[in-house]
Amino acid sequence: MNQYYPFVNTPLPYNYDAMKPFIDAKTMILHHDRHLQTYIDNLNNILKDYPILQKYSLEELLYNVDSLPSNIQIPILNNAGGVFNHRFYFDGLSRSKTKIPSGRLLNAINQGFGSLDKFIEQFQKAALSVFGSGYAWLVVNEDGKLVIVTTPNQNCPLSDGYCPVLNIDVWEHAYYLKHYNKRIDYINDWFHIINWKMAEANYNMCKQVY
Ligand code: MN
């Protein structure tokens, strides 16, 4: 994955129509080729005047956003966040037959939320509760516990000390063409195409750090 300046829009790890019937090809094309591309272009534009910051990875920019020059903190948060959050979202989708988590992640979900069904219910509520544009995330917190958080706009949980496991983009551009204003239908469709293998790998990596 392209982690350093100049950032390029790496292709999706699947075809644009791979998530049909849950997400349509046109939404995927616009979402990846236009929305994500814009964040990448904006981020490169900001960084072109800051050679030192060009050596920072996407994650390092987001971890250290508070120590960046004050005039670029918000633009970096918005655009490095926009790149990280979207890549994380697209990588987190899969048409694999694996519809539920397993291993340590499943154990942690059962422990943290009571059961997989209760987790799904809470995550659905969180994703619905995002007012306006943002994301819902499953993250590992600094105590090593799995928790659900939401972020507004393109804010990234990395900047808040969380280690991300899974996310859903609930900006309207992620679903409006197919699901219109019915965010709940999009969220329920998304549960069919979660890349649990990726989420498990993320969780295991998070647990090495926290
Ligand atoms: Mn988006």
Which residues, 6 or more positions from 208, have their beta carbon under 8 angstroms from its beta carbon? none
Q: Are 46 and 75 in contact (CB under 8 A)?
A: yes
**Would you say residue 98 has pLDDT above 80?**
yes
Gap from CA of 111 to ligand 1 centroid (Å): 31
Gap from CA of 174 to ligand 1 centroid (Å): 5
**pLDDT tens for each residue of 120-157:** 999 999 999 999 999 999 999 999 999 999 999 999 99
pLDDT for 163 equals 98
Gap from CA of 114 to ligand 1 centroid (Å): 30
Gap from CA of 107 to ligand 1 centroid (Å): 30
pLDDT for 209 equals 82
Return the H-helix or E-strand segment holding 138.
strand 134-140
Average pLDDT of 147-174? 97
Which residues, 6 or more positions from 4, have their beta carbon under 8 angstroms from its beta carbon? 54, 55, 56, 57, 58
pLDDT for 129 equals 98
Quote the crossing angle between the two packed helices 183-190 and 116-129, to the nearest 10°.
140
Gap from CA of 81 to ligand 1 centroid (Å): 11
**Would you say residue 210 has pLDDT above 80?**
no
Q: Are 9 and 37 in contact (CB under 8 A)?
A: yes
Gap from CA of 87 to ligand 1 centroid (Å): 10
pTM: 0.97
Which residues, 6 or more positions from 119, have their beta carbon under 8 angstroms from its beta carbon? 109, 112, 113
**pLDDT tens for each residue of 9-40:** 999 999 999 999 999 999 999 999 999 999 99
